[in-house]
Amino acid sequence: MSVALRAAVGDLAPRVLVTLGSGLGGLADEVADATSLDFGDIGLPGPTVPGHAGRLIAGTLAGVPVLVQQGRVHLYEGVPGRDVAACVRAAAEVGVRTFLVTNAAGGLRTEQHPGDLLLIADHLNLTGTNPLVGSATFVDMAAAYDPDLRAHAHAAAGDAGERLTEGVYAGLLGPAYETPAEVRMLRALGADAVGMSTVLEVIAARAAGLRVIGFSLITNVHREGGTPTDHAEVLEAGATAGPRLAAVVRALLPRL
């Protein structure tokens, strides 16, 4: 896998892997001197979910050599945890040292609104699995979301005219959206946003020694009594607010 990716990126020495969540894939179009690599061509499992393209874009973004992951694999597609984290491991093997991950998430705070930008300070892995299962790898997750990088993210957001709030992201298996009872449980556990990705990728990134910075784009907010949610709504909110998160990412990349 890493051999195929190394051959595909050529002389580029990517420093950052940028993973784009649902509705956020447009940032990949801004990569300069871009080489598009389909997952299958470099030995990576491909996604089956609408809104997830299934390719890596190698090039430069905001002057920084990057790999941009456009589309990701989720546990609910019936794949093992190792496949979910395969792209992160491959990026680490070709020299990437920082993982910038984004996702679309449901908000759990009553004061949140669709379009809010959440800087992930910590997570709850409630998927029931781990990408390190089957190995004897023990990883310290005490500061999984790098405090120094979070400080840079706040500064970058200010430069972009945006405001970030920090919070805890809960990663669930999916693909069903949360029931009102599950929303109450997640709030009681201290979660501020909920989604179906990210946590396994972050565990794999930390196991590989990568620094991590993560963002959730709040696409819907769970209100008391239950709030209907569908995937089209998530994609629409991502498309509307995605350019604002993209502006933060552009301002942040040169600081990483």
Active site residues: 22, 52, 74, 76-77, 104, 196-197, 220, 231
User: CA 113: distance to chain centroid?
Assistant: 20
Burial 193-221 (b: 16+ CB within 10 A, else e): bbbbbbbbbbbbbbbbebbbbbbbbbbbb
- φ/ψ bin of 254: left (φ > 0), alpha (ψ from -120 to 50), beta (otherwise): alpha
Q: How many CB atoms lie within 10 A of CB 33?
A: 9
**Residue 232 burial by CB count (10 A; 0-12/13-18/19+): exposed, middle or buried?**
exposed
**Which H or E run contains 107?**
strand 98-107
